[in-house]
Chain A
């Protein structure tokens, strides 16, 4: 009898295990981000690291000046560039967080922030988040420190995903709806699998804010009430945004510093001087020359270099413009560019040529330097071949070509335009340069109202997003107005590929196709990005490229 029960018990156990294996939803706390990978030149291991044991010192003020001059307003959904997100990220929280210790490495880990844990259904179409209890908004009107619930998450993400004012709608294009079945459960239902979504929920696309603030002010342009590590104190236009420590921050023991100042110092020399003398804790967007000068006077400053793709130059040829319809012309233009000279002029000698997808997200998503420069493609400097192709295409030497660029941008962009003009002249194209201001140029680019353009290509947080936004019909960064059904179909197929290795292979293949057969846009280079901080600043790590959360200051402390 006893043996019979034993057999029944064993059978039941086996069945339970089998059932569990068949139906169990993969629990993803934490999970690996689908896109993260080391940059081709390895990022040096950070010398200072935040410790979960909260061993840092408390008190003091951290002052930081971002390289971009203006904070136009504080509404993160109305602005994609970093200058708003790096500010508001100090006050807002998100469901997830990209572990700063793994940024730029091969295994970016997505960790919980507001979410305590999350589960993904076996078909990948439902993501259920369990929220941390007791998370409070800042003690500011109109919420006055009330608890953050799933209704707030639902409201915030719906504003981001479905409100016409949001510039992040494409981030949520796979989302069917959001649900908040109870105060601590939040559900995302998807129309199709989206490999980027979790990563983007941990980047700067999913800030959580209270509905009452939007109701009161109409938007978030001047109000900043979140549940993040720092409480907004004031915004002095053209001067800085000032924060104080959130005493009720849900990550106990953080932040370390009492005050955080996000300053606006327009002049680069003034910014560097302020850093040199310790008025600023940290500084980013430092050129190689500036970095070496700083190291001469401050030899013990810490430096971190990562490859990035943000506003780096690209040649946009408007899709359908008769001259460019002949692919030999597009190939000739690409061959006429001296990529190494571009690195010298634009990136102060620290960068590398790039293909359609930047290597900032890892080498598995981008073509290697050897392959890029191979004879198969046109990313190599060969003016003679370029002249031959133009001649073959019936383009006479001295043909005038209107090229638009921005006249109010940094000097290096202008210097590079001079170089590019010379390079095109050498292959027989006479550029008629039209200099516009930044906003007008962006409008022309979005409307396809130009012939050709030399301009900084907007970067994307993930490799797939870069491909989608740049090369799909109607993509938000498809400045050349390209519409290629074969590419569209291909990109959709890649987007729905669950297997990451297979997706990466497909990504490389499509880039080869683009370089050989599309080439309406010639991406020129990626550059290395320098961040520097004083040795007395501990625990701070810069954001990953195009991830503008900036809440690294919550983990930073001062030791001097």
Chain B
């Protein structure tokens, strides 16, 4: 098990390198120039001399491969670079924002699981009943609803009907738990709803598959209660693909956070990423994307490890 974890952690390195390289190349070949933007917003008279000076400062006067090596060397030393916007280390901004996004995504995950697992189980156990239909329609509805649109609906309609909208200034969970929950629950619901739709459908199909297995029939023949059959015997096996899907979909939560945080004014990594895109803040953007990639890979590792717990037959070597 230990060896397996170490091997997987080593595999993280090439994944991170690929993600980092692609991000590095894509944002540099995309239209738009950080120097134009900085001169437009940052003074210096916008002269050619100022542009060249700024370009040299940011190493943007060098060929892309040289920029790549300069940045990679910094990365190897643990230096993610400084923000092109304010000259501060991007790692400090990352460290400040990441907990907010992690809190938001964890809330979304919990909400999604709280909704999807019971809905999927009910749907499977009560197959082809009104409860199944409601659950399936609900799942498809949330699955097909774009998160930015749902976010706007959740924001606008309570405001029109009841004059309510979430707080606009972020307070941390420790500082003001009530305000924190009031601000993060709506975006967490938006993020979690599509996720819940997928998981509910997966739970349903996976559980239906398991419920037709011989060992379930045996359990019932032994006289076990239906509750024991479902919760003790069926769900443990039925949840393995659900856990896989939950891990894979975690990336959706993080990418959804980019839009949803902007709409709900949550100052997390998603909001920062959006700002970095608008401002062509290459260093901050690269650091954020790299962070997202590492988080997704780590979640997938945790998902793989959870198989052993869910299915004793699975052994890692």
Residues of A near any B CB (own CB < 8 A): 63, 65, 69-70, 72-73, 75, 77-79, 164-167, 221-222, 236-240, 261, 263-267, 269-270, 273-274, 276-280, 297, 436-440, 442-443, 446
CB atoms of B152 and A274 under 8 A apart: no
Q: Is the CB of B45 within 8 A of A239?
A: no
Please name the residue on chain A nearest to B42 by beta carbon. Answer: A78
B267: chain A residues within 8 A (beta carbon): 236-239
Cβ-defined contact, A239 with B85, below 8 A:
no
From A166, A267, A442, contact of B40 by CB (8 A): A442
Q: Across the interface, do B85 and A277 meet the contact criterion of CB distance under 8 Å?
A: no
By a CB distance below 8 angstroms, the chain B residues around A73 are: 41-42, 85-86
A72 near B41 with CB under 8 A, answer yes
Q: Mark B260-301, 1 if CB is under 8 A from A, else 0.
A: 001111010001101100111000000000000000000000
Nearest CB on B from A269, distance (A): 5
Known interface pairs A167-B45, A269-B155, A437-B31. Does A70 touch B39 (Cβ–Cβ under 8 Å)? no
Closest to B169 in A: A261
Q: Beyond A79-B42, A165-B44, A439-B40, is A267–B88 a contact (Cβ under 8 Å)? A: no
Residues of A within 8 A of B46 (CB): 442-443, 446
Q: How many A-B contacts are there with CB distance less than 8 Å?
A: 128
Which A residue's beta carbon lies closest to that of B270? A238
B37 at the interface (CB under 8 A from A): yes
Q: Cβ of B43 and Cβ of A79 under 8 Å apart?
A: yes
**Given A75-B43, A78-B43, A238-B271, are A270 and B31 neighbors across the interface (CB < 8 Å)?**
no
B156 touches A269 (CB 8 A): yes
Q: Is the CB of A278 within 8 A of B163?
A: yes
In the complex where A65-B168, A263-B169 touch, is A443 in contact with B265 (Cβ < 8 A)?
no
Chain B neighbourhood of A79, CB < 8 A: 41-43
Question: Known contacts A263-B265, A440-B33: does B163 contact A277 (CB below 8 Å)?
Answer: yes
Q: Which residues of the other chain, A, contact B264 by a CB distance below 8 angstroms?
A: 270
Q: Is the CB of A273 within 8 A of B156?
A: yes
Asked whether B244 is an interface residue with its Cβ less than 8 Å from the other chain, the reply is no
| Residues of A close to B87: CB separation below 8 A | 221-222
- Least Cβ–Cβ distance between A532 and chain B, in angstroms: 15
8 Å CB interface, B156-207 against A: 156, 159-160, 163-165, 167-170
With a cutoff of 8 Å between Cβ atoms, the chain A residues found around residue B169 in the complex are: 63, 240, 261, 263
* Chain B residues near A70 (CB-CB < 8 A): 275, 278-279
| Given known A-B contacts A278-B163, A440-B36, A266 and B274 have beta carbons under 8 A apart | yes
Report 23 cross-chain contacts, Cβ distance below 8 Å, ordered by A residue: A70-B279, A73-B86, A79-B41, A164-B45, A165-B45, A222-B86, A237-B86, A238-B271, A238-B274, A238-B275, A239-B267, A261-B169, A267-B152, A269-B152, A273-B159, A273-B165, A277-B164, A277-B165, A297-B160, A436-B31, A438-B37, A439-B41, A440-B36
Nearest CB of A to B33, in Å: 6
Q: Which residues from chain B contact A277 at a C-beta distance below 8 Å? A: 159, 163-165
Select from chain A the residue with minimum beta-carbon distance to B275.
Answer: A238
- Whether the Cβ atoms of A263 and B159 lie closer than 8 Å is no
Q: Known contacts being A239-B271, A267-B263, is A276 close to B278, with CB within 8 Å?
A: no
**Per a CB cutoff under 8 Å, which of B86, B156, B160, B272 touches A221?**
B86
Q: Determine which of B36, B43, B164 lies in contact with A442 in the assembled complex, contact meaning CB atoms within 8 Å.
A: B36
B32 at interface (Cβ–Cβ under 8 A)? yes
Cα distance A147–B75 when bound, in Å?
A: 46
Query: Could you say which residues of chain A place their CB within 8 Å of the CB of B39?
Result: 439, 443
Q: A165-B44, A443-B36 are in contact. Are A280 and B163 (CB under 8 A)?
A: no
Q: Which residue of A lies closest to B51 (CB)?
A: A443
Query: B272 contacts which chain A residues (CB < 8 A)?
Result: 237-238
Contact B36 A265 (CB under 8 A): no
B103 contacts A by Cβ under 8 Å: no
Q: How far is the CA of A297 from the CA of B159 in the complex (A)?
A: 9
Q: Which of A222, A237, A443 has the most CB of B within 10 A?
A: A237
A273 engages B155 (CB within 8 Å) = yes
Do B85 and A266 touch across chains, with their CB atoms under 8 A apart?
no
Q: Which of B201-257 contact A (CB under 8 A)?
A: none
In the assembled complex, how far is the CB of residue B104 from the closest CB belonging to chain A, in whole angstroms?
A: 14
A333 CB to nearest chain B CB (Å): 27
| A280 & B168 in contact (Cβ 8 Å cutoff) | yes
In whole angstroms, what is the CA distance A277 to B265 when docked? 15
CA distance A221 to B84 in the complex (A): 12
**B26-68 vs A: 1/0 string, CB under 8 Å?**
0000011100110111111110000000000000000000000
In Å, the complex CA distance between A276 and B88 comes to: 36
- List residues of chain A with CB within 8 A of the CB of B304: none
Nearest A-chain residue to B276, judged by Cβ: A238
**Cβ contacts under 8 Å, B152 to chain A:** 267, 269-270
B93 contacts which chain A residues (CB < 8 A)?
237
Not counting A439-B37, A442-B40, a sample of 10 additional A-B residue pairs whose C-beta atoms are within 8 angstroms of each other reads A72-B41, A73-B85, A222-B87, A236-B267, A237-B93, A239-B265, A240-B169, A269-B152, A270-B152, A439-B280
A72 to B39, CA, bound (A): 11
Give the residues in chain B near A440, CB-CB below 8 Å.
31-33, 36
CA gap between A436 and B40 in the complex, in Å: 14
Within the complex, the shortest CB–CB distance from A279 to chain B, in Å, comes to 5
Of all A-B residue pairs in the complex, the 3 with the closest CB atoms, nearest first, are A78-B43, A239-B267, A439-B36
How far does the alpha carbon of A240 sit from the alpha carbon of B169 in the complex, in Å?
8
**Given A72-B279, A73-B86, A238-B272, A265:B160 Cβ within 8 A:** no
A-chain residues with CB within 8 Å of residue B159 when the two chains form the complex: 273, 276-277, 297
- Nearest CB in chain A to that of B85: its residue: A72
Chain A residues with CB below 8 A from B155, complex form: 269-270, 273
Q: A267-B263, A437-B32 are in contact. Are A63 and B168 (CB under 8 A)?
A: yes
Note all chain B residues with C-beta closer than 8 A to A164. Answer: 44-45
Name the B residues within 8 Å of A269 (CB-CB). Answer: 152, 155-156, 263
Which residue of the partner chain B has the closest CB to A164? Answer: B45
